[in-house]
Every structure is written in C-alpha cells, then in structure tokens.
C-alpha cells in the first residue's frame, strides 16, 4: 500500500478546486485516477471526505491515501471455480472464502474475475475488470454468487438487486445467545468517522440498512442463525450483529478479543484455527431472465464451517 501524504494548503492554492490542486501536486497521476481517489474517500480535508469540486482555503490540511493505478486489462488466470449452475444467461458459482470477487487495490490477481476471464472468454460486462459481475461477497465470505453472460442479462439482474427483489439467505455463527430468536435489525451504517477501513453507525453518511434474522440453533455460548439482508450495504450483516452484541465468529475486524473470554480454551482454539469468517451465502433467489420465473440457487455449508459448528455443539 502506498504511504499517506499530508499537504498544507498554501495562500497560492487557496480557492482552487480539490481535484485541480491534487493534479498539480501529483503531476505523474492522471486526472481520472485522482478523481477515483476522491470519490473512494481516499482524500480528506480537515478530517472530512470532500467532493472533487470542493474549494480549498489557506491553512487547511489534506490527507491523501494514494491508490495504485488500475491495470488496463484483466489478466485471465486458470483458477478453479465451483459452478453450481450454468445456462445460456447466467453462471452461478460457490465462491470460496479468501477469494476477492474483482480486482482492486492490493488484489489485482487471484480474483474470481480473473478466473472468469479464463474459463468464460465470452462474458461481457459494464466494466472490463468485472466481467458479468452483478453483485459481490466480502473476501472472507463464501457462497452463492451469480454472473451474467451478457450485458442485457446484467442489466436485468442489476435492476432486481437495485429494487431489492432478490432474496438472499446467509448462514452465520455468532458469539453468545441472540435474543429474541427472530427479529429485524434496522440500523443505518456507513464509513466509520475514525477508522475508515470499517463500517459502522458512527458515520457522517448513514445509509439505510436492514437485516432480518432467525436463530436456527442455540449452541453452548453461540447462536447459529440465518440472516436475510433486506439491503446490500458493505459488511452489513457483520456490523449489524456486532452492534447488537453478537459478532460473527472469526470476524477479526468487528469482534473484540474480549469475546474469547466468554468461552473455554478449547472453543477459542478451534475458532482461531478456522482462519475465516463463519459467514456463508447459502441461497439466492432471482427472477430468471429467460423464464421470467423465480429460481433459487443454494450452496451447502462448507465442510470447515460444518465441522466447527458440530465441534462447538458437542
């Protein structure tokens, strides 16, 4: 990762647009790349993210976290793909935990998009680096992910995600006994004000977020749940369960180490050995673009999660 840069706005630069000022300072970086830094909230002025046209004042401090340039082409890679379903319109895969969906800062290779480019050369998409990808799963989350085979199908599916008619089901294991056993977590979230790699309700730009849930089974010290996100915010399920005091097992970003004091040493040991989130996208229901009828795709709980849950339940 490139090192952050701190800049103090001089009298001469006062009144300039933020993007213009950065372009003059980073002369070897394109305007489009600088704009990407700004809209990705990698540029903060006086500890707040700003828009490209923000007018600067003398004495202000800007913090810039440069992003490496995007590759011009997606590199096909012969990586294994677990295909759950394929027809003329879509491909449905079971994404493994640890695989990033599409290239981005720090992850230009080894992604699902790289694998798709190798195995399905005919897929087209809105962006060259994201062939057919309509939605995504976090790196640490496994499960069902659908890919469009052409732009018409991509648009058809994208409208379903935007209108929230897609039904999504996740399996998760949580610390503690979640009560009530069924409910709705309605909590707006966004980029955390202090820790920008995290999502939280402590944000300047809260966005609507709702997660329904149902406890499947209570285990000693844990709750096995199904979660049904009604919105699709980044880290939504993880943040919502953390907020109500029951973070997802294996989530090093949102679960505090203090939770391990609530369980015995043998349980803590097997959880640490898991080396992934206990979060799995188990089912996805969409209206199929060809049949115009609902179609559900399912992915079984990965063996490592099933074994951990059985072990903790003993």
Distance (Å, rounded) from C-alpha 73 to C-alpha 257?
41
* Six-digit token string for 289: 């673009």
From 19, 47, 78, 138, active-site residue: 138
Cα–Cα dist 69/66, whole Å: 9
Residue 138 bears catalytic tag? yes
Look up residue 221 and give its DSSP letter.
T
| Residue 210 and residue 184 in contact, taking contact as beta carbons nearer than 8 Å | yes
Backbone angles phi, psi at 32, to 5 degrees: -65, -35
How many residues in the chain? 314
Nearest to 160 by CA among 66, 90, 73: 90
Name the one residue in this structure whose structure tokens are 């059985």.
310
Which segments of the chain are extended strands (E)?
5-8, 43-45, 48-49, 61-64, 83-86, 90-95, 142-148, 167-175, 182-186, 190-191, 199-200, 210-219, 222-229, 279-287, 294-298
Is residue 119 classed as helix, strand or coil in its secondary structure?
helix
CB–CB of 219/203 below 8 Å? no
Q: Which residues, including other chains, have CB under 8 Å from residue 127's CB and lie 6 or more apart? A: none
Reading phi first (left if > 0) and then psi (alpha if -120 to 50, else beta), residue 143 is in left
Contact 179, 167 (CB under 8 A): no
- Unique residue bearing structure tokens 């999502």: 199
Give the active site residues: 138
């Amino acid at each position: 990762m490139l090192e952050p840069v701190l800049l103090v706005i001089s009298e001469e630069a006062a009144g300039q647009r933020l993007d213009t000022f950065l372009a003059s300072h980073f002369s070897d970086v394109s305007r489009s790349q600088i704009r990407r830094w700004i809209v990705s909230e990698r540029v903060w002025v006086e500890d707040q993210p700003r828009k490209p046209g923000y007018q600067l004042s003398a004495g202000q401090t800007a913090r810039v976290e440069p992003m490496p340039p995007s590759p011009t082409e997606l590199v096909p890679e012969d990586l294994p793909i677990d295909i759950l379903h394929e027809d003329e319109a879509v491909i449905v895969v079971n994404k493994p935990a640890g695989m990033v969906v599409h290239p981005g800062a720090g992850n230009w290779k080894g992604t699902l998009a790289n694998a798709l480019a190798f195995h399905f050369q005919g897929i087209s998409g809105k962006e060259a680096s994201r062939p057919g990808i309509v939605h995504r799963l976090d790196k640490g989350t496994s499960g069902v992910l659908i890919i469009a085979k052409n732009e018409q199908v991509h648009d058809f599916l994208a409208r379903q995600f935007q209108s929230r008619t897609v039904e999504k089901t996740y399996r998760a294991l949580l610390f503690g006994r979640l009560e009530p056993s069924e409910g709705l977590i309605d909590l707006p979230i966004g980029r955390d004000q202090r820790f920008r790699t995290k999502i939280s309700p402590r944000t300047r730009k809260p966005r609507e977020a709702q997660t329904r849930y149902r406890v499947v089974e209570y285990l000693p010290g844990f709750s096995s749940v199904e979660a049904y996100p009604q919105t699709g915010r980044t880290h939504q399920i993880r943040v919502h369960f953390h907020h109500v005091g029951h973070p997802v097992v294996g989530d090093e970003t949102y679960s505090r180490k203090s939770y391990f004091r609530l369980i015995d040493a043998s349980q803590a040991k097997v959880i640490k050995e898991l080396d992934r989130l206990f979060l799995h996208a188990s089912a996805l229901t969409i209206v199929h673009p060809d049949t115009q009828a609902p179609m559900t795709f399912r992915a079984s709980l990965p063996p490592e999660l099933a074994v951990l849950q059985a072990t903790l339940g003993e």
